[in-house]
């Protein structure tokens, strides 16, 4: 009897230990990465996206998590530097073992992180509109593709305002590619590009750039300027007496959050094209804005990337719940045509390219720093990452040529260094 007892007791203990481990594992929180610039030139835009992402995580945890497991957010700072983004992404995946990363803003940072995601077969939810020309099984694009933001907006201004356009942007991959797309369209439609200029990233001396714009006398200024350069740009325009009635600026990277940093009276009357504006009257949006303000303060605002960061978490959580697994392959499968009633309206994940079906809206800046929606697309727009004016191979060739020209970077590092005064010559 004692012999059996000696055998049975350790076996039972071992079994209890294994079951206990399994139970602990089953209830352990799911680690999720949040990777944005908390410092540097992009922090002004990216910090609020972190807030939107964390709000969604908190709401999901308050409802009991996903399939009984809470979410544990691991926040990392990309510091507005592509190399730092890459390092932090690798750390999140390799050391913190996150199941998914919600992050990146600039295309340069996303493109630097992409090979790491593909190496580890991890998943990134990217919340910002971008230039397209990319698909990856490891990225879910919750921002707009060019045919969902840039092209419809240019088309609208071409038909409603004028045919002479001035293109100005930050000197990195997104503005260059976006402007190529715009030029292709205008060439076909019969419009004219009267000037094209790229500003160092960041850039604060914009007098000469504004002089060039004034001299070219465009009907519309299309701006793909990113980060806090927008503040200086609008100040310089205002100082030069450029009014939105004569030369409206259409911004593709400036939302409510960036408007907080400029005098709204200086920019009122200009435009932006996004899928989401805080001023949308939909009850779902009103509730979202209320929750956001209740959490982060009444002076805070919501904008398109914040909202995309927010619904991206819900989209992922829904897929994890449906797949009953946070494994990348299972989640990817569950994301096919998954829909979510986001504050901007119901959005869907495209099964073929993992971009999001969404609407576009054109908003005019009001004196209170909010937008008045002037036009919205009739229906959801199918995301087409590679604009159809050129073949996929031609777009890839353009990307490669810029990458080579910039010495293996996705931004013009020389221009940036010159702006920061680091180049002696």
Partner 1 sequence: MKTWLLVVSMVAVAVGVAWLERSPVPTWVIGLGMVSGWVVDSILGLMLAVRYVPYNQLEVPHDFLSSLCQVIGTIYAVLISFSIIISWQVFTATQTIVAQEANAVADIDRMARGLPVPIYRQIHEAARTYTHLVIAHEWPAMASGQESPLAYAALVDLWHIYSDFQPSLRSDPLYQQSLSRMNDLSGARRVRLLAIHSRVPTVMWILLYGGGVIVVLTSYLFRVRRFWLQALVIGLVSGMIAFCLFLTAAMEGPFQGDVCVSPDAFSFVLDHLQ
Name which position in 381, 402, 413, 419 contacts partner 1 (CB under 8 A). 381
What is the x/- site pattern for partner 1, positions 162-191, by CB under 8 A?
----------------------x---xxx-
Question: Is residue 376 a contact point for partner 1 (CB under 8 A)?
Answer: no
Question: Nearest approach, Cβ of 146 to partner 1 (angstroms)?
Answer: 13
* Nearest residue (CB) to partner 1, 75 versus 376: 376
Q: Which residues, including other chains, have CB under 8 Å from residue 195's CB and lie 6 or more apart? A: 166, 167, 168, 212, 213, 216, 218
Ramachandran bin of 295, using left for φ above 0, alpha for ψ from -120 to 50, beta for the remaining angles: alpha
Which uninterrupted H or E stretch holds 345? strand 345-349
Question: Is residue 19 a contact point for partner 1 (CB under 8 A)?
Answer: no
d(CA 225, CA 170): 5
342-371 binders of partner 1 (CB under 8 A) = 346, 348, 351-352, 357
Which uninterrupted H or E stretch holds 164? strand 164-170
Question: Is residue 341 a contact point for partner 1 (CB under 8 A)?
Answer: no
Question: Is residue 388 a contact point for partner 1 (CB under 8 A)?
Answer: yes
Question: Nearest approach, Cβ of 126 to partner 1 (angstroms)?
Answer: 21
Antiparallel, parallel or unpaired: β 271-274 and 249-251? parallel
What is the x/- site pattern for partner 1, positions 215-254, by CB under 8 A?
----------------------------------------
Residue carrying structure tokens 């009267």: 194
308-337 binders of partner 1 (CB under 8 A) = 337
Q: Which of 36, 42, 144, 24 is nearest to 89 (CA)?
A: 36
* Nearest residue (CB) to partner 1, 166 versus 357: 357
Question: Is residue 378 a contact point for partner 1 (CB under 8 A)?
Answer: yes
d(CA 143, CA 150): 12
Question: Is residue 398 a contact point for partner 1 (CB under 8 A)?
Answer: no
* Nearest residue (CB) to partner 1, 35 versus 381: 381
Would you mind telling me the total number of residues written for the chain in this entry?
A: 425
Question: Is residue 372 a contact point for partner 1 (CB under 8 A)?
Answer: no
* Nearest residue (CB) to partner 1, 352 versus 368: 352
CB atoms within 10 A of CB 128: 25
Q: Which residues, including other chains, have CB under 8 Å from residue 325's CB and lie 6 or more apart? A: 331
Residues that bind partner 1 (CB under 8 A): 155, 184, 188-190, 337, 346, 348, 351-352, 357, 378-382, 384, 388-389
């Amino acid at each position: 009897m004692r012999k059996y007892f000696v055998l049975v007791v350790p076996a039972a203990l071992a079994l209890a230990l294994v079951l206990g481990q399994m139970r602990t594992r089953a209830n352990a929180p799911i680690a999720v990465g949040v990777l944005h610039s908390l410092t540097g030139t992009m922090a002004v835009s990216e910090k609020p996206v972190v807030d939107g992402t964390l709000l969604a995580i908190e709401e999901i945890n308050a409802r009991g998590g996903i399939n009984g497991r809470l979410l544990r957010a691991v926040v990392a700072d990309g510091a507005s530097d592509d190399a730092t983004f890459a390092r932090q992404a690798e750390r999140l995946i390799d050391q913190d073992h996150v199941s998914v990363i919600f992050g990146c803003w600039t295309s340069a940072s996303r493109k630097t992180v992409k090979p790491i995601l593909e190496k580890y077969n991890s998943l990134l939810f990217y919340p910002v509109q971008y230039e397209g020309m990319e698909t990856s099984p490891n990225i879910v694009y919750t921002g707009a593709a060019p045919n969902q933001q840039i092209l419809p907006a240019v088309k609208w201004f071409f038909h409603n305002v004028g045919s002479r356009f001035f293109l100005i942007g930050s000197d990195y991959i997104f503005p260059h590619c976006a402007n190529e797309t715009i030029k292709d369209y205008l060439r076909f439609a019969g419009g004219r590009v009267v000037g094209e200029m790229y500003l160092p990233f960041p850039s604060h001396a914009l007098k000469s750039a504004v002089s060039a714009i004034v001299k070219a006398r465009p009907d519309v200024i299309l701006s793909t300027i990113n980060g806090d350069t927008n503040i200086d740009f609008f100040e310089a325009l205002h100082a030069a007496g450029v009014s939105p009635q004569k030369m409206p600026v259409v911004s593709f990277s400036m939302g409510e959050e960036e408007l907080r940093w400029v005098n709204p009276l200086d920019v009122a009357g200009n435009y932006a094209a996004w899928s989401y504006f805080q001023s949308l009257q939909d009850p779902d949006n009103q509730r979202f804005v209320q929750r956001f303000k209740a959490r982060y303060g009444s002076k805070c605002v919501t904008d398109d990337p914040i909202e995309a960061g927010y619904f991206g978490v819900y989209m992922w959580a829904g897929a994890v719940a449906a797949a009953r697994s946070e494994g990348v392959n299972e989640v990817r499968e569950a994301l096919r045509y998954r829909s979510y009633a986001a504050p901007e309206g119901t959005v869907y994940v495209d099964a073929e390219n993992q971009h999001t079906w969404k609407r576009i809206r054109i908003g005019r800046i009001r004196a209170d720093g909010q937008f008045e929606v002037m036009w919205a697309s009739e229906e959801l727009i199918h995301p087409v990452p590679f604009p159809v004016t050129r073949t996929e191979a031609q777009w890839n060739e353009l990307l490669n040529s810029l990458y080579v020209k910039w010495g293996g970077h996705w931004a013009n590092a020389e221009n940036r260094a010159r702006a920061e005064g680091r180049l002696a010559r």
